[in-house]
Structure 1
Amino acid sequence: MKYLLGIDLGTSSVKTCLIDYTGTECFSDSEVYSINTPARNWAEQDPEEWWRATKKTIQHCLQKVGGYEVEITGISFSGQMHGLVILDKDKQVIRPAIIWCDQRSQQQIHSIHNKIQKEEVGRHTLNALSPGFLLPSLMWIKDHEPFNYEKIDKVVLPKDYIRYRITGEIGTDSTDACGTLIFNIERREWAEDLIKKLGINRNLFPLCREPYEIAGYVTRIAANETGLKLATPVVYGGGDQPMQAVGNGILSSGTISCTIGTGGQLFSPVNQPVHDRLYRTNTFCHVKNWYILGANLSAGLSLKWLMENILYIADFTKLNKETSKIPSGSEKLLFLPYLNGDRTPHMDANAKGMFFGLQLKHNRYHMLRAVMEGVAFSLRDSLEIFNELQIPVEQVIASGGFIQSDLWMQIVADVFQKSICTTLTKEHACKGAAIMAAVGTKVFNSMEEAVSEMVKKSDRLVEPNERNGYVYNEQYELFKSLYIQNRELFMI
């Protein structure tokens, strides 16, 4: 039996999936790891821990199908975006990776703007600078850890490091490099002018190709460590957002994805590199075109925080029934899901979370529902910007952990006043990676053919409730005002 291997290096775990040419997800395995926060606003992970976890998942998948008896014809990747991994001349990791939810580099952003005006940065990157992206994190290391900065031979993104461990080749792809904020989005190449003006050595940035191109082959060392067959083709792969979209069959404009996992994202392909002039959203490279993205940093993370840190609940499914009995609007209880700052629309690292409107009548179920509604309101902020930019929204496809909750799916449909559907894909990013492997190794002649064969729609369709929509429209206006009224207090 021939398979494709899709590896998704996420924020909280790595997932590996063996997928056949019809798109059936035959075998999968995952390994969790943690985010380290050694100081306030820091978020780091150990790349060696990623590699150890990835090896385990590969080995377990191979064991499930009889080890070397399985024929894997191609391997590719999806990965958490924006993070910084720095390597020395021996390709050894110098320090822990600074990942996307890190917020330490606000001062470096100010320093960059002292050298290069925001408008010039925007012309190249089509985005505003934000903490947690590779460029500000790199400049933080230059300012605060010059002894480490001097050792850097190459900077890569998280999934690029795993691919290096398998192939021995350093490189990245356009869908991930675009999230560094030192990349020319329209031209799909490193922003040479910005690199020069910031005084960064151009050689730090690796070769950049497209996500469906072959990056290398499994080395003998990697074969011995993982059980993969020597010289198996390895395809670049891409950032988790575009790979998740491909895994849902989203290649062109008209269909958007709504994802709620650790963070929350609204994703829409665009045929031209459209961007928001107010920089409330991000514009990045899709597999063959571009996409616009609205993001919340603490979507599913907000529910996890409430359950684990406040309510001490391990399994939300046991409470789903009771929470669904709470009326829409949670009886005027609102939640701002800014536990780690906000990206869209406020681009404010100082934004804070809050419950507003608590009364004696409210209980744990009100709080649970209010968190889900607050996340949906935050994603509606992105939808409103899409509407302003005249981006067509003909279909919404849901993905991420929240699709396991009928209640949360209904809340999002009601807040958006849009029908929401799903695909039969379980591991969206892994399947997107597998599709890259399929195209790169010529299993299919085109991306469109691969998606047509490997992605199937489900019969599940969540229709919006118009009456709930009226309630949420009123609540949404109050939700927006909460940030405005408290913006200065968030600075404290």
Structure 2
Amino acid sequence: MYYIGIDLGTSAVKLLLMEESGKICNIVSKEYPLFFPHPGWSEQNPQDWFAQSMEGMKELTKDIDRKEVAGIGFGGQMHGLVTLDENDQVIRPAILWNDGRTQEETEYLNNEIGKNKLSEYTANIAFAGFTAPKILWMKKNEPDKFARIAKIMLPKDYLAYCLSGSFCTDVSDASGMLLLDVKNRCWSKEMMEICGVKEEQLPKLYESWQVVGTLKKSIADELGFSENVKVVAGAGDNAAAAVGTGTVGDGQCNISLGTSGTIFISSKDFGVDENNALHSFCHADGSYHLMGCMLSAASCNKWWAEEILQTKDFAAEQAPINKLGENRVFFLPYLMGERSPHNNPDARGVFFGMSMDSTRADMTQAVLEGVAFGLRDSLEVARSLGIKIERTKICGGGAKSPLWKKIIANVMNLKVDVLEVEEGPSMGGAMLAAVGCDAYPDVETIGKKMAHVVDTVEPEPELVAKYEERYQKFRKLYPAMKDLF
């Protein structure tokens, strides 16, 4: 049998076809537009996601017996607000995770409702990208549209709804809404009251591997699939990527260098850091995880190379870099504001420390190091909780760079395990579908079976010491500039 994983990303939907053994048969990617109607706003049209996902599934399965497809699972961009009216029409474009319009609402939640209460209700505090502040923004700025809301859902859940008719979400993705009581894996009555929404407007909650329904007849007919294809709830992109990299069970770590950058630490036990610098979310394996999320990671390098240097040859730009730990140029990677651990949508990117002999390569190196230092900020929070991490998996587009992996290993003093197959959320979505179809007993089993480590980048003591010194300087830059942003 075959399993499809759909990773609904910010720039494209990536679809993966997997056999029960874990063998990847095909991968297809379909792009769709991103809209910036005002500075700091970021929106997409949910119908574009569905149209491209349908086209992608047709292309993905063109060379197989389509009746052999057994299940579909998802990984998806988190926090986005999708609203439907009573006729299932999309009310307004989806407001995405990297949209910064909700500063007032975020401040209201954190300062007037209070961080302690939010943490008590949801295990998290408000961040500008989360869903609850977006709901409050819509209530205040678009009251007519707000009054029409019949269904509130997250991006990947819109796909599940279109495919199966099931109004559902999973607990890992719902954790990023600031509406979920994470510890008890249920909707928070207090947060619904604060946001002015009713439980019937929110989707039914599932664990990530649970079956939410089967394909609608019209969809099955269009795709040439059986109507018995199971649709599973799926997971938020980071939890799905963690499943795909085998970051399941207790005390496992994964670093993702995608558009955003994350450090993801799985845990059997529920836990919250006292400053809420890390997100405390449900995991797709049925347990919990802590996550630090920086809003710009590989996108910093993309911006630097493509917009500033006017090149797409990333490898050529990195080729001259050979003196690690000695760069005097620093880069603060806050091009879209920052989430973990600073929670400051006004923060911006900064180059610091240039002199007349600073080179193009120094600047490129500073960008790579700045992202690594930013991730280290979140790792330090985890370490302050007594969590001992010695190694990490790595995934995302930035992980294709051997140099960047070496920088990460030495800045963070972690062994970095490189996987044979690294397909992130799309692989995780397919694996969750396989569990939902009973091909595997649970998520931990399939995660450990399919994550094959083929290389490990070891930290070098001399380089670790050099980077420790650089990191201590980096740490002082944000506090020094905070009032200027």
> How much does 1:210 deviate?
1.0
Alignment partners' CA distance in 1, 2:228 and 2:97: 32
2:288 aligned partner: 290
Q: Which residue of the partner structure matches residue 129 of structure 1?
A: 126
Which one is further off, 5-14 or 456-465? 456-465
* Structure 2 unaligned spans of 5+: none
Instruction: Tell me which residue corresponds to 1:29.
Output: 28
C-alpha change, 1:275 and 1:443, in structure 2 (3 Å) is same
Deviation at 1:247, TM superposition (A): 0.7
8 Å CA contact 1:283–1:290 kept in 2: the answer is: yes
Task: Classify the secondary structure of the residue corresponding to 1:7.
Answer: strand
Q: State the Cα distance separating 1:480 from its structure 2 match.
A: 1.0
3-state SS, counterpart of residue 433 of structure 2: helix
| 1:196 positional shift | 2.0
Deviation at 1:139, TM superposition (A): 0.7
| 389, 396, 401: which one aligns with 1:393 | 389
Report 1:146-161 matches (<5 A): 146-161=143-158
**2:353 alignment partner in structure 1:** 357
Shift of 1:395: 2.4
* Residue 119 (structure 1) aligns with: 116
Distance in 2 between residues matched to 1:197 and 1:4, nearest whole Å: 40
- The amino acid that maps onto 2:467 is Y
The whole-number CA distance in structure 2 between the counterparts of 1:211 and 1:134 is 19
Does the Cα contact within 8 Å between 2:180 and 2:187 map onto a contact in 1?
A: yes
Q: Name the structure 2 match of 1:486.
A: 481
Asked whether the equivalents of residues 170 and 235 of structure 2 are also in contact (C-alpha less than 8 Å), the reply is: yes
1:263 correspondence with 2:260: yes
Amino acid at match of 2:185: R
Alignment pair present for 1:13 and 2:12 = yes
Match of 1:416 among 401, 412, 415: 412
SS in 1 for 2:463: helix
Offset from partner CA, 1:67-105 (integer Å, 9 cap, x none)? 53x511111111011111001111111111011111110
The structural deviation recorded for 1:428 is 2.0
* Residue 320 of structure 1: how far off its partner (Å): 2.8
Aligned equivalents of 2:436, 2:427: Cα separation in 1: 14
**Is 1:77 paired with 2:74?**
yes
| Deviation string, structure 1 residues 267-286 (Cα, Å, up to 9, x no partner) | 00112211111011100000
Instruction: State the alpha-carbon separation in 2 of the partners of residues 394 and 417 from structure 1.
Output: 8
Shift in Å, 1:114? 6.2
Q: Distance between the aligned counterparts of 1:418 and 1:447, measured in 2?
A: 25
**How far does the alpha carbon of each residue in 1:429-467 deviate from its partner, in whole angstroms, 9 at most, with x for none?**
1121112111111112222332243x1323211011222
Contact preservation (8 Å) 1:425, 1:431 = no
Query: Matched residues in 1 for 2:13 and 2:163: separation?
Result: 15
Which of 436, 441, 463 in structure 2 is aligned with 1:440?
436
Measure how far apart 1:203 and its partner are. Answer: 2.1
- Match status 1:237 vs 2:237: no
Contact 1:255–1:268 (8 Å) recurs in 2: yes
1:22-44 Cα deviation digits (max 9, x unpaired): 11111110012232111011111
Amino acid in structure 2 at the alignment position of 1:461? T
Q: Tell me what 1:182 maps to.
A: 179
- Helix, strand or coil at the partner of 1:131: coil
Compute the displacement of 1:113 (Å).
4.7
**CA pair 87-293 structure 1, distance change in 2 beyond 3 A:** same
Q: How many residues align?
A: 484
Confirm or deny that 1:309 pairs with 2:307: yes
TM-score calculated relative to the size of structure 1: 0.95
Other-structure match for 1:89: 86
* Amino acid of the structure 1 residue aligned with 2:468: N
C-alpha distance in 2, partners of 1:228/1:181? 36
Residue type matched to 1:379 in 2?
L
User: Among residues 319, 325, 329, which one is paired with 2:317 in the alignment?
Assistant: 319
How far is the alpha carbon of 1:488 from its aligned partner? 0.4
Q: How far apart are residue 392 of structure 1 and its match?
A: 2.6
Distance in 2 between residues matched to 1:428 and 1:341, nearest whole Å: 25
Give the counterpart of 2:425 among 400, 406, 429: 429
TM-score (norm 2): 0.97
Question: Gaps (5+ residues) in structure 1?
Answer: none
In the TM superposition, residue 329 of structure 1 has moved relative to its aligned partner by 3.9
1:402 to 398, 402, 416: 398
The residue number in structure 1 matching 2:457 is 462
Tell me how far apart the structure 2 counterparts of residues 319 and 486 of structure 1 sit (CA, whole Å).
29
Contact 2:390 2:414 in 1 (8 A): no
Which has the larger displacement, 419-428 or 21-30? 419-428
Letter in 1 for 2:429: A
Deviation string for 1:250-270 (max 9, x for gaps)? Answer: 112222001110010000011
Distance 1:293 1:192 in 2: 24
The percentage of aligned residue pairs carrying the same residue is: 35
SS of aligned partner of 1:234: strand
Structure 1 residue 142: Cα displacement = 0.6
Structure 2 CA distance, aligned partners of 1:26 and 1:252? 27
Q: Which whole-Å CA distance do the structure 1 matches of 2:415 and 2:30 have between them?
A: 34
* Partner of residue 380, structure 1: 376
Tell me the residue number matched to 2:297. 299
Tell me the amino acid that sits aligned with residue 470 of structure 1: A
Comparing 462-471 and 258-267, the one that deviates more: 462-471
Letter of the 2:319 partner, please give it.
Answer: K
The alignment yields a C-alpha RMSD, in angstroms, of 1.5
Shift of 1:330: 5.7
CA contact (8 A) 1:330 1:370 kept: no
Please state if 1:106 is matched with 2:108. no
Q: Which amino acid aligns with 1:179?
A: G
Q: What per-residue deviation string (whole Å, max 9, x for no partner) do you get for residues 344-396 of structure 1?
A: 11111111110001122122211111100000000000111111011131321
Report the residue type matching 1:299 in the other structure.
A
* SS in structure 2 of the partner of residue 469 of structure 1: helix
Q: For residues 147 and 44 of structure 1, what CA distance do their matches in structure 2 show?
A: 19
Deviation for aligned residue 1:115? 5.4
Return the alpha-carbon distance in structure 2 between the equivalents of residues 470 and 15 of structure 1.
40
Q: For residues 277 and 110 of structure 2, what CA distance do their matches in structure 1 show?
A: 18
